Structure 1
Amino acid sequence: MTEEQIRTEDRVQYTITDGVADVRMVRVDKMNALDDAMFEALVTVGKEIAADTSVRAVVLSGEGRAFCSGLDFGRFEAMKKGVQRIIDEREPLGPAKVMGQQSPYVWTWMPVPVIAAVHGFAFGGGCQVAMGADIRIVHPDTKMSLMEAKWGLVPDMTGTQMIAGLVRRDIAKELVYTGRIVSGTEAAEIGLATRTSENPYEDAMALAKEIASKSPHSVRRAKELMELSGRVSLEEGFAAEQKAIRSLIGTPNQKEAVSAGMEKRDPVYADYTPVEGYDA
């Protein structure tokens, strides 16, 4: 089977259960290395899930020994010949205009929270895919690195822009300049990971289910606001808060939240529906 014939499900598979999308990279024989087909599959699957209004949270993980070992060695051979399709411009996804940037950014762009369950290795592009998630739960022994410096490159899959919002700027520079490998434990200590777990996938699924139990309208608004935080002026951020709260008060799911709280029962929320005057 040629690369052009590879199907999305040969690289990334997903199921949706009770509002939680369980997304898995499944190129096990290559430790989920990023070839052109994997890049395409991540973007395609991300867009499919984003369009499904029944989805309330996403867990992103890798099958086998690693979350994602980084760029496929075949891509390095292509670079030597001056061929690198992942930097060719395509239809934009928000600010991301090339495939290499869209494969991590699609999870940031996703309207619902995304939790990366990281184990084994998350090197180079694999680390950047994990950084595209809202939350990263990692095994203590995980090895993470923005190791592009080893290959005479820079992190170009949104990495240089996203890492500065996760770790201290000087630490971010050290990691980018050197490609140093950090453990899952250190990653959590410096902010590259949210927290460690002996069972990242199980804990990520538990967190996703908790998020999915909340009003999908309020969770989506919260993600929108958190993505603006620190990236726009306070005036714009405050205005966005007010627009969001006005779109929520008095809606069916917000009323259900109040009723359930007053009646001391679990709320039952309807799936997300676009709000007139709010959603484009």
Structure 2
Amino acid sequence: MANVSLKIEDHVAHVTLMRGEKMNALSFELVEELIAAGESLMERGDVRAVVLSGEGKAFCAGMDVANFATLAGQDPWARIMPRSHGNANLFQQVGLIWHKLPVPVIAALQGVAYGGGFQIALGADVRIAAPGTKLSIMEIKWGLIPDMGGMALLPHLARSDVIRRMTYTGDPVEAEQAERWGLVTEIAEDPLAAAREMAAQIAGKSPSAIRAAKALIGYAEAHSGDADAVLLEESRAQAALIGQPDQMEVIAANLQKRAPVFRG
């Protein structure tokens, strides 16, 4: 892939946007390659965490402006309405694929995360940003609304008034404010190093428990108004872990004061 790098080391997948000279602006090719990278990890049992980053001075500046002319010459209904990726279209899948992955995704942000780039970051489980990183729901600048999965993800992270302010104005907010609003998890001088360190830590935990935890959190978010269903799913997920090989290895490792060694 020319626009996306995918490397797997020590059970961590490193996915990097590689259009640094263009601030990783989303060309059609980059969108398709990024989705392909994410989807290639769906069935990878050896992958335990993902680090998502952008090369150069920016995470992602949003949609490449060259795309707007192409889109303007097409039937928008035919381009946008088909559900080509389950419940999503192509542009929504580029952000949602990271949310759909069964393992944790940590996004490392620097420079800017604008428009589609911000929505891709929202698909991650954790967002670590460099000081001063700017984030924006920028679609209103082009007379549009956020349409890359952001509205399926934002309400789980931020208050309604925050979402409305950012959507209506398009104003960038710095990472420090975004952290206070729940859109950034933490600030780090070197977000990529911090993301890699966190991914390595996660990769050392029980793989089956980590996958079960991500699935349970997603279930709890989707059924937040049904405590009975969440409690039942919590018990079901726990029962499926107890006494299984990963859990028994964790117990043995703790008793022997060593790092656990998992299969796969």
Counterpart contact for 1:56–1:212, Cα < 8 Å: yes
Normalised TM-score (structure 1): 0.90
Partner of 2:204: 213
Q: 1:239 to 1:192 in 2, by over 3 A?
A: same
**Cα RMSD over matched residues?**
1.4
List alignment gaps of at least 5 residues for structure 1.
1-8, 272-280
Equivalenced residues, count: 261
Counterpart contact for 2:23–2:57, Cα < 8 Å: yes
Counterpart contact for 1:120–1:143, Cα < 8 Å: yes
1:237 aligns with 2:230: yes
Superposition pairs of residues 1-280 of structure 1, within 5 angstroms? 9-82=1-74, 87=80, 89-93=82-86, 95-96=87-88, 98-232=89-223, 233-271=226-264
**What is the CA-CA distance between 1:172 and the residue it aligns to?**
1.1
**What is the CA-CA distance between 1:91 and the residue it aligns to?**
3.5
Give per-residue Cα distances to partners, 1:17-36, cap 9 Å, x unaligned: 11011110001221111121
- CA distance in 1 between counterparts of 2:206 and 2:129 reads 27
Counterpart contact for 1:36–1:86, Cα < 8 Å: no
Give per-residue Cα distances to partners, 1:87-119, cap 9 Å, x unaligned: 2524433x32x0000001000000000000000
The amino acid across from 1:203 in the alignment is A
SS in 2 for 1:92: coil
Q: 1:75 to 1:83 in 2, by over 3 A?
A: farther
Normalised TM-score (structure 2): 0.95
Q: 1:251 to 1:109 in 2, by over 3 A?
A: same
Q: 1:269 to 1:26 in 2, by over 3 A?
A: same
Counterpart contact for 1:160–1:176, Cα < 8 Å: no
Counterpart contact for 1:86–1:100, Cα < 8 Å: no
- CA distance in 2 between counterparts of 1:23 and 1:240 reads 31
**What is the CA-CA distance between 1:80 and the residue it aligns to?**
3.1
Instruction: State which drifts further: 132-141 or 157-166.
Output: 157-166
Give per-residue Cα distances to partners, 1:128-166, cap 9 Å, x unaligned: 000000000001111110011111111011112211111
Q: 1:64 to 1:234 in 2, by over 3 A?
A: same
Aligned-residue identity in percent? 41
- CA distance in 1 between counterparts of 2:31 and 2:106 reads 19
Counterpart contact for 2:84–2:90, Cα < 8 Å: no
Counterpart contact for 1:143–1:184, Cα < 8 Å: yes
List alignment gaps of at least 5 residues for structure 2.
none
Give per-residue Cα distances to partners, 1:35-55, cap 9 Å, x unaligned: 211111111100111221100
